[in-house]
Amino acid sequence: MNDFRIQLRVTWVETDAAQVVHFTNYFRYFERAEEEFYNKLGLDFLSLSKYNVWLPRVEAHCKYLSPCRFNDLIEVSLRIDKIREKSIHYGFTINNLTTGKKSAEGYVVAVAASIT
């Protein structure tokens, strides 16, 4: 599979007093790519929930390579690294198109769970 890619613009509220994107928001960019990926497939988290299935995260990791600043245009790439019977392992890369630098890379592991 090719990577799935979305572009986002960094918003003011995502920055912190160091005038860069707060480190926790990169995980939110990851999740935004995941949401758009499911939309592209015609699924969404809610349609999954109709089957009483939910995808809680069990692990998340990010390496920060170069900061993003307000109004930078960034591209988030998602790839499926592994699918097991009950888990899915996403890999993510964030490229800062404004600076031309790779900004971050990380992964998230989600599992299929019944909603109780």
| Residue 95 · residue 75 · CB < 8 Å | yes
In terms of C-beta distances under 8 Å and separation of at least 24 residues, what long-range contacts does 24-28 make, across chains too? 26/62, 26/64, 26/94, 26/103, 26/104, 26/106, 27/60, 27/62, 27/106, 27/108
Is 20 near its own copies (CB under 8 A)? yes
Task: Dig out the tokens for 40 from the structure.
Answer: 């592209």
Is 19 near its own copies (CB under 8 A)? yes
Is 54 near its own copies (CB under 8 A)? yes
Is 41 near its own copies (CB under 8 A)? no
The DSSP 8-state label assigned to residue 84 in this structure reads -
Q: Measured from the CB of residue 26, what is the shortest distance to its own copies in angstroms? A: 8
Q: Measured from the CB of residue 3, what is the shortest distance to its own copies in angstroms? A: 20
Residues that bind its own copies (CB under 8 A): 9, 11-13, 15-20, 22-25, 27-28, 31-32, 35-36, 39, 44-46, 54, 56-64, 67, 69-71
